[in-house]
Chains A and B, each alone.
Chain A
Amino acid sequence: MTHEYWKWPESSRVYEDAGWKAPGEATAGVDIGTTSAQAAVMLGGRLLGYSNVRVGADFRKSAKDALDLAMAGTGAAPADLAAIAVTGFAKNSVDFASKAIDEVQCHAKGARFMYGPDVRTLIDMGGQTVKAIRLFDWDRVRDFMIGDKCATGEGRRIEVLCDIMHVGITEIGPKSLEAEKDPEPVSTTCWAFGGTETLGLFGRPEFRSPKMSEAEIYASYLFSIAWRIIGVAGRLSPLDVGKIEIDGTLGLTGGLAKNPGITARIERELGVKAAVSEYDPMLAGAIGAALLAR
């Protein structure tokens, strides 16, 4: 593999004004997923530091690296924390946490922190799973749906497809929105079919059927993914029979929430605007875990 179009940027930050004072006050959350790992350090209801990194072959090491990176520059060491909670696909691989919490609870809690108390519908779109979560007005989960097996791996598939299509993973979304009108989506049954069909759309325009521009090819591909994600949200128990309804404010989290080609299409099809946050949408699980750690 000579290309690295799939590599999304890793990040970390310390909020110095959050004011680290003494050991035993802060908590940390680590969200170790199939594809990415995040760590968040919370102090007095504020974010003190975070990290967001790609996961390697060793889940435990990736989780530890994420925590160390989030704490670097905060002036604190992991031993100074009151508690560390871990969530995500590989949470059972982590042995340095005081607690393991399921992903749905953590995302719900984290999304409320990030998008405010009005969020009542949340869609988390990660490397392997899509989770749609409905919340009560208070911080309790009312209902949730996790993507069926054929909706598995969509985030990861975008990484692989970007590499094969030779388009940067942060560019595919904006480029897809340059299409004047969205074409029909490629297969909405299976990500693998959708990928194969998308690859078939490239080639000399005179041999393409239907003839599509580069922007339209990306639009068709991302629309098929947005379609499946909406399908998962549509399986939440209806508030009103027969309608996909977004209750309250919609929050979108996970890696795909950073792809405007996905979010714009979800918003368009559902007819609502998603809430925006000053924080990276990938942090919801880690922030939620940190808030629930104690």
Chain B
Amino acid sequence: MIIAGIDMGICNTKAAIMKDEKIIGRSAVPTGGIDRPQQAQKAYDEALKNAGIAAGDVERVVSTGKGKFDVAFASEHYTETVAAARAAQYALPGATAVMSAGADETLSAALGTTRLIDEFVLNQKCSAGIGAFLEYLGARLELTLEQISNCDGPDAGEMNEGCVVFSELDALSLLNAGAAPEAVMSTANRAAATRAATVLADLTASPGGNVVLIGGLAKNAAFVKALEARLGRSFTIPEDAEYCGAIGAALCSVKGI
């Protein structure tokens, strides 16, 4: 049975084609503005091509993410939290919790033994946009995504950890005070990690020892290192971390929620 999962975020749309719970194709396209339905179609078409199959071979298409209802051809829509939970179980059998950190949203869920999710925590409004903030600050500092990911050096100074608007102004002040762009970015990665850490720390159900980290920010090594230091634990990061929403949505369709 072939199921396609499409995860439409605010910056990128990810598609994954699953055959009998194995990934056979995937794709990612930039998302934005009024053309989201067409962007979803493009992501789907590219994933089909990547898998080497035709649309007729796919049993159903399901969606998740901020723009899940923009995927007009999806027959099922799953909340990001359940998709993340299913993806975590798939990536790490025996996983006890999942944390997802993307362009806009950060969430964590404690996985249950008799049910999929025991408890979940979403970011508060003020800590939205962490991923997008790091990417755009990096661009402002003339750093590539790879360079951003390597910025885990000494701090440039104090930076607000609560709000991306304040953080950016602090970053520019540090730059103006003579700090190197890499040092400013290192501080920003750490400030973002501090902000993201609260969604896992706020779980009252014990997150246990096997926590899976998914989403685009899982690819930012410096952010992950700071998050691990802040929480005093390590994460399992799947190879397809940024596709996990799409994978999880497809699995929800097979295994239920």
Residues of A within 8 A of B (CB): 1-3, 34, 56-57, 59, 89-90, 92-93, 128, 149-150, 152-153, 156-157, 160, 163-167, 190-193, 195-196, 199-200, 202-204, 207, 214, 217
Contact = CB atoms under 8 A, between A and B. Distances in A.
A167 B33 CA distance: 7
Contacts of A128: 169, 172
A150 B165 CA distance: 8
Interface size of B as a range: 35 or more
Contacts of A192: 126, 128-129, 163-165
Interface in B95-138: 104, 125-126, 128-129, 132, 135-136
B69 A203 contact: yes
A207 B71 CA distance: 11
Contacts of A59: 175-176
A21 B8 CA distance: 61
Contacts of A56: 142
Given A196-B104, A203-B36, A164 B10 contact: yes
Contacts of B143: 57
A237 B141 CA distance: 38
Nearest to A128: B169
B67 interface: yes
A193 B128 CA distance: 9
Contacts of A2: 30
A153 B32 contact: no
A204 B32 contact: no
Contacts of B163: 190, 192
B139 interface: yes
B125 A164 contact: no
A225 to B, nearest CB: 13
B162 to A, nearest CB: 11
Nearest to B185: A57
A222 to B, nearest CB: 15
Contacts of A166: 32-35
B37 interface: yes
B231 interface: no
Given A166-B32, A204-B70, A199 B104 contact: yes
Name the residue in A89, A157, A192, A200 with the highest tally of chain B Cβ atoms < 10 Å from its Cβ: A192
Nearest to A217: B34
Contacts of A190: 163, 165
B190 to A, nearest CB: 19
B166 to A, nearest CB: 7
B12 to A, nearest CB: 10
Interface in B164-221: 164-166, 168-169, 172, 175-176, 178, 181
A200 B129 CA distance: 13
Nearest to B105: A196
Given A89-B176, A92-B176, A195 B129 contact: yes
Given A1-B139, A93-B176, A202-B36, A193 B125 contact: yes
Contacts of B69: 203-204, 207
Contacts of A160: 132, 136
Given A57-B141, A59-B175, 15 more contacts: A3-B32, A34-B172, A59-B176, A152-B169, A153-B168, A157-B165, A160-B136, A163-B136, A166-B33, A190-B163, A196-B104, A196-B129, A199-B66, A202-B67, A204-B72
B128 A196 contact: yes
Contacts of A204: 36-37, 69-70, 72
B132 to A, nearest CB: 7
Nearest to A213: B34
A195 B104 CA distance: 11
Contacts of A195: 129
26 contacts: A1-B139, A57-B140, A59-B175, A89-B176, A93-B176, A93-B178, A128-B172, A149-B166, A153-B165, A157-B165, A160-B132, A160-B136, A163-B136, A164-B10, A166-B34, A166-B35, A191-B165, A192-B163, A196-B129, A199-B66, A203-B69, A204-B36, A204-B70, A207-B69, A207-B70, A214-B34
A145 B43 CA distance: 48
Nearest to A159: B136
A149 B170 CA distance: 11
A138 to B, nearest CB: 33
B182 to A, nearest CB: 10
